[in-house]
Amino acid sequence: MLPIVTIEWLNAHREEVVLVDIRWYLDGRSGRAAYEVGHAPGAVFIDLERWLAGPPSPERGRHPLPEAEHFARGMSAHGISDDSVVVAYDDAGGVIAARLAWMLRVTDHSAALLDGGLSAFGGELEVGRGPQVAVGAFTPREWPAERLATIDDAMNRSNVVFDARNYDRYVGEGDSVDPRSGHIPGAISVPCRSNLDANGYTRSPGELREIFEAAGLRVGAEVVSYCGSGVTACHNLLTMEWAGLGSGRLFPGSWSQYSHDPSRPAATGALPG
């Protein structure tokens, strides 16, 4: 299944799809509350912090990957089974919903992002707590080691390391959520939101290839993607795949894990360092 699908594709396959709303906000606003104000017809809401992340810690970061059994319970509770086709969306062009789509895809499930997210539905929204769903049958599967990166991988200058955070956090202009500002030395700034056009839709594969290649992506390179806590980094990985540039690896702990140890070097400014 392609990593990104259009609203036209969704409308043609709606009866075959579990549509999932994954809204989450760095500033602490409630994704559930936003969902209840207005969501795509028939969509279920999945709480990112409850089901798509394990307990936070300095050692693992703010949003470490959850245990496979916990993830499976969350998917089952929301009507997702092993053979389900899942389409995830948010109100940020997919940069948050990418976390669920990536987690499902790397464990060999059919999942994609909805291009344009919530705005693709226009004004045809539902309100309230959403539909009641039957419990699914979702089998726990371990996270594949070949799709994950470690701190050592992120520090390895032979890898191409992309930082998906907004540029101001990359250069070190202040970071209110993590212990230190800056970026991993050698990492290149590729803000995930640069993957979107002015209307919040994914750029064409050709445009995305230009963005990633300009940032240093080359054929055969080992790519590591990170962000603040391993959420929006997934968007860079999905859009790379959409552009035909391979799959890359996620550094789950990302800057929130890396920056907790003061002995680890941190770079600031526009250059990778």
Residue 129 lies in a domain: yes
Domain that holds residue 115: 4-142
Do 117 and 37 fall within a single domain? yes
Residue 186 lies in a domain: yes
Do 55 and 119 fall within a single domain? yes
Residue type, 81: S
Report yes or no: 192 and 164 within 8 Å, Cβ to Cβ: yes
Q: Of the candidates 85, 109, 142, which is a domain's last residue?
A: 142
Do 31 and 89 fall within a single domain? yes
Domain count across the chain: 2
- Please tell me the predicted confidence (pLDDT) of residue 219: 78
Do 160 and 119 fall within a single domain? no
Q: Of the candidates 101, 118, 142, which is a domain's last residue?
A: 142
pLDDT digits (tens), the chain, 273 positions? 999 999 999 999 999 999 999 999 999 999 999 999 999 999 999 999 999 999 999 999 999 999 999 999 999 999 999 999 999 999 999 999 999 999 999 999 999 999 999 999 988 899 999 999 999 999 999 999 999 999 999 999 999 999 999 999 999 997 788 889 999 999 999 999 999 999 999 999 999 999 999 999 987 889 999 999 999 999 999 999 999 999 999 999 999 999 999 999 999 999 897
Q: Determine how β-strand 223-226 pairs with β-strand 188-189.
A: unpaired
Q: How far apart are CA 35 and CA 4, in angstroms?
A: 21
For the chain, the straight-line distance linking the first and the last C-alpha, in angstroms and rounded, comes to 38
Do 114 and 153 fall within a single domain? no
Supply the residues annotated as catalytic: 227
Q: Is 262 exposed, middle or buried (0-12, 13-18, 19+ CB in 10 A)?
A: exposed
Q: Of the candidates 142, 165, 194, which is a domain's last residue?
A: 142
Do 194 and 216 fall within a single domain? yes
Q: Which segments of the chain does DSSP mark as H helices, in order?
A: 7-12, 31-37, 48-51, 68-77, 98-106, 151-155, 167-171, 205-214, 233-242, 254-258
Do 23 and 108 fall within a single domain? yes
3-state helix, strand, coil in the chain (%, to 5): 30, 15, 55
Do 174 and 187 fall within a single domain? yes
Do 150 and 137 fall within a single domain? no
- Please tell me the predicted confidence (pLDDT) of residue 123: 81
CA nearest to 252, candidates 24, 62, 114: 62
Do 25 and 37 fall within a single domain? yes
Residue 51 lies in a domain: yes
Do 229 and 174 fall within a single domain? yes
Place of tokens 């703010």: 62
Residue 224 lies in a domain: yes
Assign residue 150 the CATH number of its domain: 3.40.250.10
| pTM for this predicted structure | 0.97
Residue 168 lies in a domain: yes
